[in-house]
Amino acid sequence: MENRATPAPQSVSTSSIATPSAAARQRPNPVRKIIHIDMDAFFASVEQLDDPSLKGKPVVVGGDPHSRGVVAAASYEARVFGVRSAMPMSQAMRLCPDLIRVPSRIGRYIEFSRRILEVLRRTTPQVEMASLDEAYLDVSDSPAPVAEIAARLKSEILQETGLTATAGAGPCKLVAKIASDTGKPDGLVVVKPSRVRGFLSPLPVARLWGVGPVTEGKLKALGIRTIGDLARAHEDVLISRLGPSGAMLARLARGQDDRAVVSSRKTRSISCERTLPEDTRDILALDHLIDRFAADLSQSLRDEGLSARTVVLKLRYSDFSSITRSRTLGVAFDEASVIAAEARRLMGRTGAGRRRVRLLGITVQGLIGSDEPFQRPLFPP
């Protein structure tokens, strides 16, 4: 293993499905070279770049601490105090009284993400964007050493965006991802195929995909605490305790991950949700939020050249129980009026107005492109 370090709200989300390219499916080379690029404290770093007065200071991106806001991203200066993403903003402010909070600017982050993607695609078309701030590249066809390619990518991203990235490289996606995690921030970690087992073995099992708190507890009950312990465990025992996922985890623990880097992605849903400042039975307040979400979703659909066929409404009540209601229309739509009307219709099938609502969300699904044949509505409902 080589470790090279360079010098030292309201949310709108899309989910995707991926289809491997023909090259990824047919590549005969059994030894792959996979790179994982992970931007360092991406949202917070963009804010520090745009406002130099924030550099070197503890910065978080997220919602108002008085309105149940959460931390979307934290600078490394803030992380020193124990501040982490997904933490309640009020808790983050207690941990670091000098914390500087800035609201999320998702459009600006998307802009940087697209610029990063352009840089990566100059090296290979085999780029899979796992999120706005991380990507996998398959550079197996390049004769250049993978460490050289990864170092060049880090340099080009810095030159063209002013942001630092950490790179991890290995023979599969799992190893490349874990390698980049260990190199944070602004580092480069390359794991050679012959060193995979030695690299993974001492790490805690929680570093593996698919090992959450429940699975980790079951593994600890078997005396399995490290990835090395898991790799040495009898597969039949794992399957008896964990089901089919036991076999999958055993393979991952041995560094066996044959998932392809997929460069073609198709958006399958777009959603908005928000935790309310106060639990409410006020239907008018919920209606107002529905109108805002519908406008945002409509704009997102049109920006991507998509139409939807299904509206999903999500509510979380004050007791933290959640419900969803959905309806699929016989026509495709991208109009805010259609989304809002359907969301209100669905809300009528919930306890809203009688029970206090803590969170509201709307998702549009069944997305199709403008070039796909499907009847559009003559009139909104």
Active site residues: 134
Write the single-letter amino acid at 227: I
Residue among 113, 118, 121 at smallest CA distance from 137: 121
**How would you class 73 by CB atoms within 10 Å of its CB: exposed for 0-12, middle for 13-18, buried for 19 or more?**
buried
CB atoms < 10 A from the CB of 122, how many?
12
Start-end of H helices in 101-189: 106-121, 146-161, 173-182
How far apart are alpha carbons 37 and 29 in whole angstroms?
Answer: 22
Q: Residue 227 to residues 2, 179, 206: CA-CA distances in angstroms? A: 20, 14, 8
Phi then psi for 119, rounded to 5 degrees?
-60, -45
Q: At what angle do helices 106-121 and 146-161 cross, to 10 degrees?
A: 140
Is residue 339 within 8 A of residue 333, CB to CB? The reply is yes
Task: Give Cα 215 distance to the centre of its chain.
Answer: 21
Q: Which residue has the tokens 């460490």?
A: 147
For residue 53, CA distances in Å to 48, 56, 131, 225 come to 7, 8, 28, 44
Contacts of 354 (CB under 8 A, 6+ apart): 281
Number of other residues whose CB lies within 10 A of the CB of residue 54: 18
CA distance 98 to 160: 31
Q: In the numeric block, which tokens belong to residue 298? A: 């409509």
Look at residues 361, 358, 378 and name the one whose alpha carbon lies nearest to residue 297: 361
